[in-house]
Amino acid sequence: LKLDHPADWHSYYKNSGGVEQPPKITWQLPPGFSAGPIQWPVPEIKTSDTGTSLIYSGSPSFLIDITPPNDLPAGQTVTLSAKATWQICQKSCINENASFTLDLPVSAAPEPDTSKKDLFSAARKKLPTKNQDWDISAHADGENLRLCLTPKSQAAKSLQAADFNFVPDQPFIQPGVESASITKNGNTWILPIKRRTTDIFGEAIPQENTFSGILVSNSAGLGSVVVPNVTVSTPPPEPLPASGFLPILGGMLLGGLILNLMPCVFPVIGLKIMGFVEQAGASRRKVAFHGFAFTFGVLASFAVISGGLFAARSVALAAGKGAATIG
């Protein structure tokens, strides 16, 4: 399906970014034939007063694979029929439609139509390619998301400056990425992705935990690649720097001092002093044994308490991760 737009008019990607309607095709095919989905070229990201849209201007071509049955006999002619609908917009929008019929002879061997070679070649060049450059994941970032890109190919590893955009397939994701807000953690690029909760009419947009789209890069050696379904996960906890332990140790010391100054502790201090006095005449071996036993008891008690806390934290993190991957 090839659309020739008037100047300054445009049509839309399968996720328009708003409430506009993308092209659709309804097929009437001979028995045994099947039609694949529309193969969407990489759209433009257009920002206006009403929001951000994903559009096609000029003369975009939308490819569809038609698969005939394996036992189709040669020598006959088959008719492929389709009804297409689309919407074009400028300051206002117009709904358009057309019906098409294509008669094709069935031959025993492939016979490409050379007159359409350039049309199909140009259309294929505008499709996103399979991702071979990045390991892609997504983490929750408050109400929004972070798209994490870890390089796999040499071209991705050589990238020195951020030059990314994102075309989402789902309306709950805001199209585009603010270049200035892209950061790098180690060798992983982090793209902030914003959620959209309402459309231009104020209607709620259903939220999901998985999304897909097209990662667009204009850097040398990198192109536009398909991002398959990505599940939003809970971000891993960041390691605490050494300086972060100082306030914790100070709090522990202060807590210990406060506890030892509580009135309920004073009788215990007296009892311990009396115990030390009673041991004054005892053998050094017995005194050392009591000291080691007391120290071991304190350490063992705190080891049990801290072990329980670590176990509870691990269970909580595992439960949180499981909940975040449902989608």
Confidence band for 318, pLDDT divided at 50, 70 and 90: low
29, 186, 266 from 280: Cα distances, Å: 103, 61, 21
Q: Tell me which residue of 224, 236, 220, 215 sits closest to 320, measured CA to CA.
A: 236
Average pLDDT for 129-142: 92
pLDDT in tens, 26-37: 999 999 999 999
Q: How many residues does the chain have?
A: 327
The pLDDT value recorded for residue 260 is 73
Statement: residue 325 has pLDDT above 50: no
Q: How, if at all, do strands 225-233 and 134-141 pair?
A: parallel
Residue 30: partners with Cβ closer than 8 Å, 6 or more residues away: 78, 79, 80
Average pLDDT for 190-208: 89
CB count within 10 Å of CB 96 equals: 13
Residue 160: partners with Cβ closer than 8 Å, 6 or more residues away: none
In single-letter form, the type of residue at position 277 comes to V
CB count within 10 Å of CB 121 equals: 9
- Four-CA torsion 217, 13, 181, 234, nearest 10 degrees: -100
Average pLDDT for 52-68: 94
More confident residue, 284 or 143: 143
The answer to whether the predicted template modeling score (pTM) of the entire model surpasses 0.95 is no
Which of these ranges, 13-22, 100-109, 224-233, 257-266, has the smallest mean pLDDT? 257-266
